[in-house]
Homo-oligomer: A and B are copies of this chain.
Amino acid sequence: MSSIVVVGSMAFDTIETPFGKQDKILGGSANYFSLSASQFVPVKCVSVVGQDFPKEHLDLLKSRNIDLAGVRHGDGDTFHWSGRYGYDLNEAQTLGTELNVFETFEPELPESYRDAKYVFLGNIAPPLQMKVLEQVRKPQFVALDSMNFWIEGQRDALIKAISKCNAVVINEGEVRQLTEKYNMVDAAQVIRKWGPQILVVKRGEYGAVLFDHGDPFCVPGLPLAEVKDPTGAGDTFAGGFVGFLASQANTSLSRELLRRAVVYGSVLASFTVQDFGFGELLKLSREKIEERYRRFVELTRFTRVA
């Protein structure tokens, strides 16, 4: 069993959905990813928090197999994101981004992180993603997430970071923006030319698509009677995806394994959307995860001979 180094944000989120409003609750890509991936393997977290970040939450993360030696305590306030969703929870409208301690963040990995075999470069500035990756000696599997903000503002740096990765895990709209291809089959080819042999397209409630060297694989989202807040679902997905792969580190990275990893990603994400913040994620167990995996099996089951 391998461990994963993740870099991403630890944040406060102010979120408005048709189902309620939450003011400055805990969030951030590193948080969502870590809480998800640590269901499978130990996680080593790289991030920065402000003076106002609650110590109890850090203690909670530590108690869950999440190493915080790489989390710096900056002089100032924690990163704060505000956003709003309409009934179409697939798309967030960003209302405000206060970078705060992230403005001057320089990631430096503790020695104990540098032999990690699995790396997840969460959604932060591409040069910071590169800086983290350069500090890991011999990574076996590197996955990257990004967003419109970086695609627009730092496209070249982002493509450079992407070229060092095995997998890109991003939203459908961002795939289009990044590759300038509308069709996903075309987009996957563009990304494969840049370097990564794996593209995972996140489609919100419509699930995810895996493009590798063979035929694509689709897993739908689980239709849920109650969906409250999609914030963090993408990072939770990535946590399940990379976490499962890292837990199978002894086996070779087969197409079968990648497909199961995409299903685990979808399983984990399906919990996150059921409540605001980490609500459901904190109540998780491997048993609940396996139970929901079986719901995905049932959701997609049909007679496989014509």
A-to-B contact residues, CB < 8 Å:
18, 87, 182-186, 203, 206-207, 209, 215-221, 223-227, 256, 259-260, 262-263, 290, 293-295, 297-304, 306
Q: Provide the residues of chain B in CB contact with A203, threshold 8 Å.
A: 206
Determine whether the beta carbon of B217 is less than 8 Å from that of A302. yes
Q: Provide the residues of chain B in CB contact with A294, threshold 8 Å.
A: 306
Q: Provide the residues of chain B in CB contact with A300, threshold 8 Å.
A: 217-219, 300, 302
> This chain: how many copies in the complex?
2
Determine whether the beta carbon of B219 is less than 8 Å from that of A223. no
Determine whether the beta carbon of A223 is less than 8 Å from that of B306. no
A302 to B294, CA, bound (A): 12
Pick the residue among B206, B209, B256, B299 that contacts A217 (CB under 8 A): B299
Q: Provide the residues of chain B in CB contact with A218, threshold 8 Å.
A: 207, 220-221, 223, 299-300
CB-CB nearest 3 A-B residue pairs: A218-B220, A206-B206, A259-B302
- Of listed A186, A297, A304, residue having the most chain B CB within 10 A: A304
Assuming the contacts A206-B203, A206-B206, A294-B306, asked whether A299 and B223 have C-beta atoms less than 8 A apart, the reply is no
A218 to B220, CA, bound (A): 6
Determine whether the beta carbon of A185 is less than 8 Å from that of B224. yes
Q: Provide the residues of chain B in CB contact with A256, threshold 8 Å.
A: 302-303
Determine whether the beta carbon of B260 is less than 8 Å from that of A215. no
A217 to B182, CA, bound (A): 27
Pick the residue among B225, B262, B306 that contacts A183 (CB under 8 A): B225
Known: A186-B225, A300-B302. 20 other contacts (CB 8 A): A18-B182, A185-B224, A203-B206, A206-B207, A206-B220, A207-B218, A215-B298, A215-B299, A216-B223, A217-B299, A217-B301, A217-B302, A218-B220, A218-B223, A219-B302, A220-B220, A260-B303, A263-B302, A293-B306, A300-B300
Q: Provide the residues of chain B in CB contact with A209, threshold 8 Å.
A: 220, 223
Q: How far is the CB of A186 from chain B (nearest CB, A)?
A: 7
Q: How far is the CB of A301 from chain B (nearest CB, A)?
A: 7
21 cross-chain CB contacts under 8 A = A18-B182, A183-B226, A185-B223, A206-B220, A207-B220, A215-B295, A215-B299, A216-B223, A216-B299, A217-B299, A217-B302, A218-B221, A218-B223, A218-B299, A220-B220, A259-B301, A259-B302, A260-B303, A262-B302, A290-B306, A293-B306
